[in-house]
Structure 1
Amino acid sequence: MPSKLPQTAALATLARSWRLLRSFRFEQTRPDIFYGGLAADTAALVGALAADHGLGLHGARVLDVGGGPGYFAAAFAARGADYFGVEPDASEMTAAGITLAGAVRGDGTALPFATGTFDITYSSNVVEHVARPWDMAQEMLRVTRPGGLVIISYTVWLGPFGGHETGLWQHYLGGEFARDRYARKHGRAPKNVFGQSLFAVSAREGLEWAARHRARTFPRYHPSWAWWVTRVPLLREFFTSNLVIVTKKHRQG
């Protein structure tokens, strides 16, 4: 797999993996640190994937599905992209106090854009928050132009971060258990409520969708020499952590 995505593989170093792993502890307490670093990494990843598919970010119309409060906009603008974000939750859009000219409120499973509008459509850590994630994936394909790129990156349920802020092991005893335990411990519901805004999405589901759309896959936070883990059934569910799916839209896509 690394030889097929040379620029992306070059980005996937052990130092990068360690840096991202360390940043996860700031997701709830210092979202500016966590999402700022993740935004920069996402822009670099999308840029590398675009280059590996004969595309570029400079001047490209990029749609971020589930873009949240806008941390990613500056990172893409710095690379010359024409960035647009779509987010269903109005409170999430304003959470960081960032104003975006290209922000649109909308549902990822019914994107409010014409067919073939964007050069690159991506979502970062959104699939696990959508009740019908593969409907969203199909919509992402629809709004991407032929020859354009669709990139999906999501947290695998059985990986260590599948339960999000509810803990590293609690979700292995069930999403409801993890949710209720968090509420008892903190006196409030978690931000990501299992069954409402957090769902159990497997690596297998993503790989099956990828196979139908001639997509490439790899684990986002692994160094490139560990990308083989996605090829091993069962093992990939626990050790992939985050699965990337990337496909160039064909004219029949």
Structure 2
Amino acid sequence: MVGRTNTVDRSVQLFRAFLKEQTDPDHFYGVLAADSVRQISEYVPLNGATILDVGGGPGYFADAFRAAGARYVGIDPDVGELSARGDLPAGMIRASGTELPIRTGSVDICYSSNVLEHVADPVRMLDEMVRVTRPGGTVFASFTPWFSPWGGHETAPWHFLGGRYARQRYIREKGHEPKNKFGESLFVLTIGKALRWARGTSDAVLVRALPRYHPWWATWIVRVPVLRELASWNLVLVLRKR
């Protein structure tokens, strides 16, 4: 059964790595990239597949996907993110996720990890991800829901009182802007909105929606409105292009 490898031990490992996202990004993104390879492989073979990573950043996912035999291309609009590990990684393109410079129906897998909440128009980005995927191909997108404990990113948990309040409070406390600025590089995106898009798009079929970090037996959370927004931490959408 797909997802049975999502064990409690895996969840503990991911949450422990997640706590080091700010202080040790190499560790966190390395663990997450390896887990992404495993998770996507449950739906589609990676060896020989062409994968487009929307928001690929400095190359953590590039290393993992190429090691699994995939032909990897990454896109990111932020030069700072692309060069976070030094030199610009090979196979990366500077471009926007809402205007992908990729031919329609040309990739086997379109992947995105923790990017949608940083896009002002996430539905447009999802539509673009579906567009560039070949018929029968796979779209795999994950994001941090706004009402999850980490929805405000480094301004959490104050985002529960409003994104603008949380941003201003952070500035008062730290003396500088947060990395993820509400209204500029961080936006409200709910699981409900993402599921409405996934179930309503005519160009793809929703295969699964699940909380990314949870063990397999906790995936039922996504079926419960309100609870899913608070308890999911991160949502994964897996779709098949029609």
TM bucket, shorter chain = over 0.9
- For structure 2, the residue ranges without an aligned partner over 5 or more in a row are none
Measured in 2, the distance between the counterparts of 1:23 and 1:182 equals 24
The residue that corresponds to 1:171 in the other structure is: 159
The residue that corresponds to 1:184 in the other structure is: 172
Structure 1 residue runs of 4 or more that deviate by more than 6 Å after TM superposition: none
Look up the equivalent residue of 1:106 and give its one-letter code: A
Q: Does 1:222 align with 2:214?
A: yes
Measured in 2, the distance between the counterparts of 1:225 and 1:140 equals 29
Contact 1:165 1:192 in 2 (8 A): yes
Contact 1:121 1:150 in 2 (8 A): yes
Contact 1:13 1:223 in 2 (8 A): yes
Measured in 1, the distance between the counterparts of 2:43 and 2:230 equals 25
- Aligned pair partner of 2:34 in 40, 63, 73: 40
Contact 1:210 1:217 in 2 (8 A): no
Contact 1:153 1:243 in 2 (8 A): yes
Q: Does 1:109 align with 2:109?
A: no
Measured in 1, the distance between the counterparts of 2:118 and 2:7 equals 28
Q: How many residues align?
A: 238
The SS at the match of 1:17 is: helix
Question: CA-to-partner distance for each residue in 1:214-241, whole Å, 9 max, x for gaps?
Answer: 3121111111101101111111111111
Offset at residue 98 of structure 1 (A): 4.9
Q: Does 1:235 align with 2:239?
A: no
Q: How many percent identity over aligned positions?
A: 53
Look up the equivalent residue of 1:171 and give its one-letter code: H
Offset at residue 69 of structure 1 (A): 1.1
Measured in 2, the distance between the counterparts of 1:98 and 1:64 equals 18
Q: TM-score, normalising length from structure 2?
A: 0.95
Measured in 2, the distance between the counterparts of 1:137 and 1:17 equals 26
Measured in 1, the distance between the counterparts of 2:51 and 2:146 equals 27
Offset at residue 122 of structure 1 (A): 0.9
Offset at residue 99 of structure 1 (A): 4.0
Measured in 1, the distance between the counterparts of 2:153 and 2:173 equals 15
The residue that corresponds to 1:194 in the other structure is: 182
The residue that corresponds to 1:53 in the other structure is: none
The SS at the match of 2:229 is: helix
The residue that corresponds to 1:21 in the other structure is: 15
